[in-house]
């Protein structure tokens, strides 16, 4: 009886990581509510991918929440500055080392988790899934395990859950310690079709992945290390 499953809000960008997370949440027995954001990304391919993914997984509901972050957030991802490109994995690693990349969107995961938290409270979901990843994390501060723990603690004080222990909310970040190759192997074992996902920060006019941005390179290397070929169109 599907209505007896516990509910989970799953943050879904339509990329490789969040799609794998959705597969994991379903494997773990959750009734999934997917949440995507339209926040002034320079292209809408991500949202198209998110819609395809949500549909192929048969989620209970898929909401796209519009956030006007572009109006004051500086990031290359919302059209403010160039997307960094690299010609090799070595160049990528050298560039990512010890620095926060220009594609960082200020407080993005905090804003996304907060909207997810509001929705979770409305639908009485006690789980939120997010595809952050600390190993291949690309230098974003809000992808670290200590951040997720601190968010969960705050969330339980923020809401009705904080008043009633049986309502305790858990933030699930199942990818947090996995390499990209492990994430891909895990997704493949769960039947994920990565050809419908989208990860590129700067797709070509023909809507193909650029193959040279941080996101493309981390993904390509993951497939290479998993001994597979990335089905994303390049």
Length of the chain in terms of residues written: 234
Q: Counting contacts by CB under 8 A, is residue 100 touching its own copies?
A: yes
User: In the numeric block, which tokens belong to residue 114?
Assistant: 């907060």
Give the whole-angstrom CA distance, residue 108 versus residue 82.
19
Q: What are phi and psi of 105, to 5 degrees?
A: -100, 120
Tell the smallest beta-carbon distance from residue 51 to its own copies (Å): 17
Q: Counting contacts by CB under 8 A, is residue 136 touching its own copies?
A: no
Q: Counting contacts by CB under 8 A, is residue 117 touching its own copies?
A: yes
Q: Counting contacts by CB under 8 A, is residue 170 touching its own copies?
A: no
Q: Residue holding tokens 């603690």?
A: 153
Give the whole-angstrom CA distance, residue 12 versus residue 35.
6
> Which member of 23, 34, 69, 213 binds its own copies (CB under 8 A)?
69
Task: State whether residue 78 is helix, strand or coil.
Answer: helix
Tell me, what DSSP letter sits at residue 80?
S
Give the whole-angstrom CA distance, residue 110 versus residue 147.
9
Q: Residue holding tokens 């379903």?
A: 26
> Which member of 154, 181, 188, 210 binds its own copies (CB under 8 A)?
154
Contact window for its own copies (CB under 8 A) among 118-126, 196-204, 211-219, 221-229: 118-126
Q: Counting contacts by CB under 8 A, is residue 197 touching its own copies?
A: no
Tell the smallest beta-carbon distance from residue 34 to its own copies (Å): 13
Interface with its own copies (CB under 8 A)? 63, 65-69, 71-74, 100, 104-111, 113-115, 117-119, 121-122, 141-142, 144, 146-147, 150-151, 153-155, 157-160, 162-163
């Amino acid at each position: 009886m599907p209505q007896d499953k516990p509910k989970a809000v799953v943050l879904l960008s339509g990329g490789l990581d969040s799609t794998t997370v959705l597969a994991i949440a379903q494997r773990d027995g959750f009734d999934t509510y997917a949440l995507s954001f339209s926040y002034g990304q320079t292209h809408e391919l991500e949202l198209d991918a998110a819609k395809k993914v949500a549909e192929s997984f048969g989620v209970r509901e898929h909401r796209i929440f519009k956030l006007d972050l572009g109006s004051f957030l500086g990031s290359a991802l919302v059209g403010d500055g160039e997307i960094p490109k690299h010609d090799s994995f070595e160049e990528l690693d050298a560039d990512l080392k010890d620095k926060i990349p220009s594609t960082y969107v200020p407080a993005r995961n905090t804003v996304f988790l907060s909207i997810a938290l509001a929705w979770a409270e409305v639908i009485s979901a006690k789980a939120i899934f997010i595809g952050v990843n600390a190993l291949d994390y690309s230098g974003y501060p809000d992808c670290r395990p200590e951040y997720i723990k601190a968010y969960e603690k705050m969330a339980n004080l923020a809401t009705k859950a904080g008043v009633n222990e049986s309502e305790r909310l858990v933030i699930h970040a199942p990818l947090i310690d996995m390499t990209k190759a492990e994430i891909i192997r895990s997704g493949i074992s769960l039947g994920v079709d990565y050809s419908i996902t989208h990860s590129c920060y700067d797709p070509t006019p023909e809507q193909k992945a650029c193959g040279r941005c941080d996101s493309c390179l981390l993904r390509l290397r993951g497939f290479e290390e998993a001994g597979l070929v990335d089905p994303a169109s390049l």
